Amino acid sequence: MKRQIFDDRRWGMQVLKGEQRIVELRTLKAIAETLNSSNDLYSMLHDVLRELLQITGMETGWVFLIDEHGHYQLAADYRLPEALCISEKKPMCEGDCWCLDRYNDGRLQSAANIIECKRLEDAIEENRGDTRGITHHATVPLRAGDEKFGLLNVASPNKMHFADGELALLEAVAYQIGTAIKRIELTRKEKDHALITERNRLARDLHDSVNQLLFSLALTARGTKEMVEDETVKEMLDYIQELSQEALSEMRSLIWQLRPQGLENGISCALINYGKVLGLSVDVEVEGVINLPCHIEEAVWRIGQEGLNNCSKHAGTSKAKVVLKVKNRCISLQMSDQGNGFDYDPANSLLSLGLSTMKERAEMLNGTFLLTSQKGKGTTIDVVIPL
């Protein structure tokens, strides 16, 4: 009889384990399908978080993305308690907490129970609102191989402990998410590389075809002028030659914008060489050395290009000064000339298309754009972009 009871219990435990395993496999399958259906990082994180919570029966969750310097952002959340949503989720976007501290100092290597959530504890102490009885959460690092991307946190009301099986499932899901983040990163880099390749191809084609045709047109007009006597025809040929030279100059400038030769040697060299294309003498000063991320380097380069274009077209001077500084985790670009200048009121004046583009490039990277100018006293542009 005792043997029968023991066998029945063992059989029951096996059935429960089998059912639990089926639930785990279904969860991983659903998560994998969600991860593979999107190439947008933030929508993917939101969708997979929602799917995970609905399948596992958890109440709430959130994802922090963390860079190599320990700076974090709230990348996704689902059904956060009211106390964490005040002031556009300010409690989730500022300050430190225990899971972030453990992640940054290397103590958090796998799924773990967090004793208490500091953000929720602060919300309770300061009576910020309803926490729905949530005080603890499980936290799991998001990783792919040796690379770490952030944290996945999940919680439920009155749940103070997560079983080993629950943590193992969360860890498996976290690995899937980390792999998906890596895939999206690689896809983005591949697209950027394809864009650069296409730019280079277009620049090469313009140089080999249109550029050469314009050069030939200028030479033909000049040669034909020597062969005719009619002054009216000569004037028309002079005009054709001037137009072709101007078009040739514009084409060279366009080619430079598509494929900035010299950027591989640094922004300063690229700006000096681009100034030569425009007929400008560019004095460049550099303070500080840093290996800039590609997207910031290109933004600074494009802003510098537009600034030199404006100087060449409107300033009435052949000299410009550029100062590049790296300080306090920011890069600053100052461009100035002692040319014509213009009356500029930042409160009332509308920026030209070129200036608007410069401003937009800076602000897209959380930077600032400041222009000061006065008739007869030149123009100065200051751009600061955080690193």
Tokens standing for residue 22: 């089926």
| Partners of residue 269 on adjacent β-strands | none
Residue 84 DSSP one-character state: G
Rounded mean pLDDT, 181-210: 72
Tokens standing for residue 216: 């030939």
Secondary structure element (H or E) that encloses residue 19, with its range: helix 2-35
At 150, is the pLDDT very low, low, confident or very high (cuts 50, 70, 90)?
very high
Q: Considering only 119-133, 245-259, 319-333, which range has the smallest mean pLDDT?
A: 245-259
CATH number of 23-186: 3.30.450.40
- Rounded to whole angstroms, the Cα distance separating 47 from 133 reads 25
Helices (H), 207-279: 212-225, 231-258, 267-278
At 341, is the pLDDT very low, low, confident or very high (cuts 50, 70, 90)?
confident
At 207, is the pLDDT very low, low, confident or very high (cuts 50, 70, 90)?
low
Residue 349 DSSP one-character state: P
Encode pLDDT of 358-384 as tens digits. 888 888 888 999 998 888 889 999 999
Fold of 265-387: Heat Shock Protein 90 (3.30.565)
Tokens standing for residue 220: 């033909």
Q: Which residues, 6 or more positions from 362, have their beta carbon under 8 angstroms from its beta carbon?
A: 299, 303, 368, 369, 383, 384, 385
Angle in degrees, CA 64, 66, 67, rounded to 5: 160
State the average pLDDT for the chain.
80
Closest CA to 339 of 369, 278, 383, 380: 380
At 6, is the pLDDT very low, low, confident or very high (cuts 50, 70, 90)?
very low
- Rounded to whole angstroms, the Cα distance separating 215 from 219 reads 6
At 4, is the pLDDT very low, low, confident or very high (cuts 50, 70, 90)?
very low
Query: In the chain, what are the domain boundaries?
Result: 23-186, 265-387
Encode pLDDT of 151-190 as tens digits. 999 999 988 888 888 888 888 888 888 888 888 888 877 7
Encode pLDDT of 63-86 as tens digits. 999 988 788 999 999 999 998 998
- Whether residue 88 has pLDDT greater than 50: yes
Higher pLDDT, 255 or 109: 109
For the four alpha carbons of 202, 208, 212 and 213, in that order, the dihedral sign comes to negative
